[in-house]
């Protein structure tokens, strides 16, 4: 995938801000992470943000951290991993 450079404009700025708001929202980190990923997926689909190979790798890592079996609650290490990866994604979004 060729990099097209950072997305610019109000929709890109809005998508980045929405991600960061969800990342920092009160509530459970795992729930916030899922909502933030859903927002990013919508921003990618709408063309507001460009996917980067680095973002794809980070999102894949986050998906692993958020995996759970039916009925299993995530917390502890999953939440810690999600927080770490969300911060890295936030930094990378400036290049998306």
Which pair of structure tokens corresponds to residue 21? 């708001």
**Residue 61 pLDDT > 70, yes or no?**
yes
Mean pLDDT of the 54-66 span = 90
In this structure, the number of other CB atoms found within 10 A of the CB of residue 70 comes to 4
Beta-carbon contacts of residue 7 (< 8 Å; ≥ 6 apart):
15, 48, 49, 50, 96
Q: Residue 88: is it exposed, middle or buried by C-beta count within 10 angstroms (0-12/13-18/19+)?
A: middle
pTM of the model: 0.81
């Amino acid at each position: 995938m060729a990099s097209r450079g950072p997305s610019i404009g109000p929709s890109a700025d809005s998508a980045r801000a929405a991600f960061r708001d969800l990342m920092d929202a009160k509530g459970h980190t795992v729930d916030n992470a899922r909502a933030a990923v859903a927002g990013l997926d919508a921003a990618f689909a709408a063309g507001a943000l460009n996917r980067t190979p680095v973002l794809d790798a980070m999102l894949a890592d986050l998906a692993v951290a958020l995996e759970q079996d039916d009925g299993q609650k995530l917390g502890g290490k999953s939440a810690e991993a999600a927080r770490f990866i969300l911060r890295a994604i936030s930094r990378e979004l400036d290049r998306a």
